[in-house]
Amino acid sequence: MFLFLYSLLMLVYLVVCGAVVGYVAYCLFRHQRLSRQTVIGASILLLPLCLMIVSELAADDIELNPPIESSHQLAGTYSLGSQSLTLQPDGTFTSTGLFSTTSGTWTLGSFTVNLSGVALSPRVVTCNGDLCIAPYYEDVDEPIGVLLKRSPATVSKKP
């Protein structure tokens, strides 16, 4: 129900924005002067729309189901601040600041990394084309949260 009301409110907002843009364009086309109140009102009304467009354009492009050919493609160090996860090509891992388990073995699941001794299965995603790991990702309806990005120096080559 909430989603329907939100969608309806956004539709009304976009119709009003369209009407304001149409009115301003009509006045400019007819070479009529716009009052200060009209310009200020139109600016205030259109500012949130402009901010939404800019934020959407600046957002990271995240692919939840990237094509992964082999576990060797994932080997490397993924980090964000003091949190890091290193996946070795031999199937071992070490982590810092993420889980209570700091080392063990790992295997590639379907879009996840299965870590021995860790209850969570970090999700493999791409962010702007680069492989990343979302260590706490659980559900497609929830935000991704922490996103560990791979260090460029650790990109491993296929054997």
Q: Is residue 144 part of a domain?
A: yes
Please check whether residues 46 and 81 belong to one and the same domain.
no
Please check whether residues 87 and 45 belong to one and the same domain.
no
Which stretches in the chain have pLDDT values below 70?
Answer: 1-2, 58-60, 101, 139-143, 153-159
* Residue 151: partners with Cβ closer than 8 Å, 6 or more residues away: 76, 77, 78, 79
How many domains does the chain divide into? 2
Residue 22's Cβ-count burial label (10 Å; 0-12, 13-18, 19+) is exposed
Q: Is residue 159 part of a domain?
A: no
- The number of angstroms, rounded, from the C-alpha of 150 to the middle of its chain's C-alpha atoms is 16
Please check whether residues 89 and 147 belong to one and the same domain.
yes
Whole-model pTM over 0.85:
no
Say how far apart CA 147 and CA 59 lie, in whole Å. Answer: 14
pLDDT tens digits, one per residue of 29-66: 888 888 888 888 888 888 888 888 777 776 667 777 78
Please check whether residues 14 and 72 belong to one and the same domain.
no
Please check whether residues 75 and 128 belong to one and the same domain.
yes
Please check whether residues 100 and 83 belong to one and the same domain.
yes
